Amino acid sequence: MASVAVQSKSGEEQITQESFPSWKRRVGKDTGFVVKLAEKNAERLVLTRGEMKELPPGVFEGELVRRYAIEDPALKRKLRGYVWKGA
């Protein structure tokens, strides 16, 4: 089972598959985290419990990210309206 340590303003939190739904309800739908995987320096954005279940077993570090709307109309069309930034 995967466990992710995410740093937030309130301190570091350990998130598991079981605790993910309550964490997601608390932080909101526009929040997730990016996990750095060991293989090929890959990163994965985790927004749902299903994506959390797809992580390989182990303990990972995660970076908290939030979804923000793009103001520039040309970029908005190109990037589908939103961008994820570190929180």
Q: What tokens were used for 72?
A: 């520039």
Pick from 49, 17, 10: which is nearest to 32 by CA? 49
Residue 35's pLDDT band (cuts 50, 70, 90): very high
Residue 8 makes CB contacts below 8 A (sequence gap 6+) with 27, 64, 87
How far apart, in whole angstroms, are the C-alpha atoms of residue 17 and residue 4?
9
Q: Quick count: other Cβ atoms within 10 Å of Cβ 10?
A: 7
Q: Kindly list the structural domains of the chain, giving each domain's residue range(s) and its CATH number in brackets, ordered by start.
A: 2-86 (3.10.20)
pLDDT tens-digit series, residues 38-77:
777 788 999 999 999 999 888 899 989 988 888 888 887 7
Locate all alpha helices (DSSP H) within 1-87, ordered by sequence: 20-27, 49-53, 73-78
pTM of the full structure: 0.79
In contact, 16 and 1? CB cutoff 8 Å:
yes
